[in-house]
Structure 1
Amino acid sequence: MARMEENDAGMGHIHGIANAFKQSQILFTAHAAGLFDFLAKEKTESAIARAMGWSPRGTRFMLRALAAMHLVRARGARWRNTPSAAACLQSGASNDQGAFLRHTRRGWDDWARLDACLRGGAVKRERHYAGSEAERDYVRAMHAIALNNAPQCAALVDCSGRRRLLDLGCGMGAYAAAFLQAWPSLCVVLVDTRAVLAMAREHLAARGVADRCEFVAGDARRIALPADLDIIWISNVLHAWGPEECRACIARCFAALRPGGVLYIRDFLDDETPGAAAFHPVFGLDMMLHSEGGGCYTAAEVAAWTHAAGFKQGRLLRAGRKSRIWTARKP
């Protein structure tokens, strides 16, 4: 009996992994069809079928699948979003994840190339070309996540007595805004591509802090950094680069900081614990598919790079479930 239960549990685990893509496709399809916007108010099944252009049979199955996923619910003969779907899947909602879904869906075909990539096949250099709608979705998706993380990170970064902070690969400026609002005497230099900086300007103006920002357009891998900086903040940038690019970037950061300046590197630093959560190794494969040398680095690797650049011994800070912050000071 024990062996049978063990086998059943093992099969259930394997089947769950194998079938997980089906729920993703259900979510992508419903969102792309505009179902969650339509279900901001209660609707009948027949009204849903007409609005979506789906067959009555398909609509019935789809709604029941989404209900099992806790995204919609029925009250009598009418259907509506659950609170989590209303908050995350309706356009313009408080935590709208639409851009994240569109960005993730674009990787669907790329993952089908995993075997070829593992055998040394060419990676897909870009999932989102500069100035494209795909790039805007990617930037908005990362921004929605950053907005949730920024207050905690701002509390961990000590800017007392500091004047200039550089945000390398700033995205739409969620972290910059949090630092500026927490430290009224601070000025921030934001570095990213021209198209992304245009989005950052809009966000920072809306937050009322754009007057304390300097915008520098360029490739974060190669751009000459301004000198005389007190703090450099790099969030979720290094995982897209190879080790040599990371080392070179950290050396440039060391040169750009004043004596006593501090480098903060926030990333998906993997502790490589056997049996730990799957996110980090899976994300590492994602980077293998979409970059020449990127991946999930460990805190030990980042510490070795900062030490080689000349920084003092650093320390590791917790920054949520998936991320850590490595911070090191210039002597």
Structure 2
Amino acid sequence: MSDDEPTPDGVLRLINGYWATGIIGAAVTFSLFTHLENGVETVAKLAVAAEISERGAQALVDGLVGLGLVEVREGRYRNTPQASAYLVEGSPTYLGDLAKLKQRHMGGLTTLAEVVREGGPLTDPTTEVADNPHWAQVVPAIAAQSVPAARVAVDVLGLAGAGELSILDVGGGSGIYSAIWLAANPAARSTQLDWQPINEIARGLLAERGLSGRFTCIDGDFHTVDFGTAVYDVALYSHIAHQEAPADNIAVFVRLWRSLKPGGALLICDYVVDDDRGGPAFPLLFASEMLLKSRQGGTWRRSDYRDWLVRAGFSDISFHPAPPATLVVAR
């Protein structure tokens, strides 16, 4: 085989991509990354600490080494910096619960070919209702993925030194943005609009961090609740646009533009693709998730957001990387 002839290795890794979901999901189930972080370095000791078979421990760490999440030297294992940041329990950016959630979702991909043929879900999506019990698992599990964008926003808007601010977080979920922003700015106040069961989760997080005195909630559906006029300095619309149709996003942006005080800013965080749909990789892959789970959602281009925001009344629009998402700022 010549040096420039392609090998099947890369394609085989992709075809067997579900192995990664399974391996990471099993590893966090048994707290392997946490044990490694605490200095448990050998397979035999990991098996004891995790209360699993030594053969199973070996298979998992082999897989984690193959995935680039664990390093090995002379029979001793340790987390890579990425694993330490995102897969060790107790980390503010812990994604282990999301890994376990995705492990349970793997079976849904078996219908993707037929969903592609039909152009949308084979049955009516039932998750987007207020009383779905899955929110108790999903909302905390996905919170950590918003931490990088929330921190980027602190820097982009200079929130820490902005003094008194009134913030509206539409569909705020876990309340993680409010938690980070209120901690950065002791003079700011935040209002979260979401369904009542989800707001209860957010109240718990803000109380845990001693910030509940500056945090309030509005229970309801953002499609119908009145945002008010010239009430807020900052409005946030995070990881919602991908599940909405273009016309629905424009309608919400119009209402958010009206809700802002003069000089106020709207922040949108989502998986945004380049105008030629050539990247970034994660948002492009996420498009299939929207095909499976929404009737009209998708991963929208920068030009889509720019067009929608201008039509809503905004004129100053900028894009800021917050991998794997993008933070859009509009004034």
When normalised by structure 1's length, the TM-score is 0.83
Structure 1 residues 251 and 13, CA, compared in 2 at 3 Å: closer, same or farther? same
Work out whether residues 190 and 215 of structure 2, in 8 Å CA contact, stay in contact via their aligned partners in 1: yes
Contact in 2 for aligned 1:233/1:265 (Cα 8 Å): yes
- CA 1:80–1:292: 2 relative to 1, 3 Å: same
Distance 1:276 1:163, change over 3 A: closer
Q: 2:274, 2:280 within 8 Å by CA — same for their partners in 1?
A: no
Partner of 1:245, secondary structure, is helix
Q: CA 1:28–1:179 in structure 2 vs 1: closer, same or farther (change >3 Å)? A: closer
Gaps of 5+ in 1: none
Q: Which moved more, 1:156-165 or 1:38-47?
A: 38-47
1:253 equivalent in structure 2: 256
What is the aligned partner in structure 2 of residue 15 from structure 1? Answer: 12
CA contact (8 A) 1:299 1:316 kept: no
- Which 10-residue stretch deviates more, 224-233 or 130-139? 130-139
Number of the residue aligned with 1:29: 26
Q: State the alpha-carbon separation in 2 of the partners of residues 297 and 237 from structure 1.
A: 11
1:76-87 → structure 2 map (5 Å cutoff): 85=83, 87=85
Comparing 16-25 with 44-53, which one deviates more in the overlay?
44-53
Q: 1:269 is matched with which residue: 264, 272, 278? A: 272
* 1:31 to partner: Cα distance: 2.8
Q: 1:202 to 1:67 in 2, by over 3 A?
A: same
Q: 1:158 to 1:33 in 2, by over 3 A?
A: closer
Q: 1:98 to 1:218 in 2, by over 3 A?
A: same
Check the 8 A contact 1:231/1:264 in 2, yes or no: yes
Q: How does 1:298-313 map to 2 (within 5 A)?
A: 298-309=301-312, 311-313=313-315
Residue 142 of structure 1 corresponds to which residue in structure 2? Answer: 142
Query: Counterparts of 1:110 and 1:215 in 2: how far apart (Å)?
Result: 34
Superposition pairs of residues 68-79 of structure 1, within 5 angstroms:
68-71=66-69
* Aligned counterpart, 2:98: 100
Tell me if structure 2 keeps the 8 A contact 1:234–1:265: yes
Question: 1:240: how far off?
Answer: 1.5
CA displacement at 1:167 relative to structure 2 = 0.9
* Alignment CA distance shift 1:158-1:233 (3 Å): farther
1:119 aligns to what SS in structure 2? helix
Report matched runs for 1:1-331 at 5 Å.
Answer: 4-9=2-7, 11-36=8-33, 40=38, 41=40, 45=44, 48=47, 52=51, 54=53, 57-71=55-69, 85=83, 87-93=85-91, 95-120=93-118, 121-122=121-122, 125-126=125-126, 130=130, 134-157=134-157, 160=162, 163-229=165-231, 230-273=233-276, 275-309=278-312, 311-329=313-331
User: Alpha carbons of 1:44 and 1:295: their partners in 2 closer, same or farther (altered >3 Å)?
Assistant: closer
Distance 2:258 2:319 in 1: 24
After TM superposition, give the deviation of residue 227 of structure 1 in Å: 3.2
1:4-45 deviations in whole A, cap 9, x for unaligned?
Answer: 333334x33322211222222222233334545566535653
The alpha-carbon deviation at position 255 of structure 1 amounts to: 2.8
Listed one character per residue, the Cα deviations across residues 88-109 of structure 1 (whole Å, up to 9, x for unaligned) are 4343345432221122223211
Query: In the alignment, is the contact (CA less than 8 A) between 1:269 and 1:297 conserved in 2?
Result: yes
User: How far 1:59 moved relative to its partner?
Assistant: 4.7
The structure-2 alpha-carbon separation of the partners of 1:73 and 1:52, relative to structure 1 and needing over 3 Å to count, comes to farther
Contact 2:43-2:58 at 8 Å conserved across structures: no
Give the superposed CA RMSD.
Answer: 3.2
Percent of pairs identical after alignment? 25
SS in 1 for 2:4: helix
Q: How many correspondences in the alignment?
A: 324
User: What's the TM-score once normalised by structure 2's chain length?
Assistant: 0.83
Aligned partners of 2:154, 2:239: CA distance in 1, in Å? 15
CA drift of 1:136 comes to 2.7
1:158, distance to aligned residue in structure 2 (A): 5.0
Q: Is the 8 A contact 1:128 1:134 kept in 2?
A: no
* Contact 2:33 2:84 survives alignment (8 Å): yes
Cα offset for 1:220? 2.1
TM-superposed CA distance for 1:280, in Å, is 1.6
Give how far 1:148 is off. Answer: 3.3
SS of 1:48's equivalent in the other structure is helix
SS at structure 2 position matched to 1:92: coil
Letter in 2 for 1:122: L
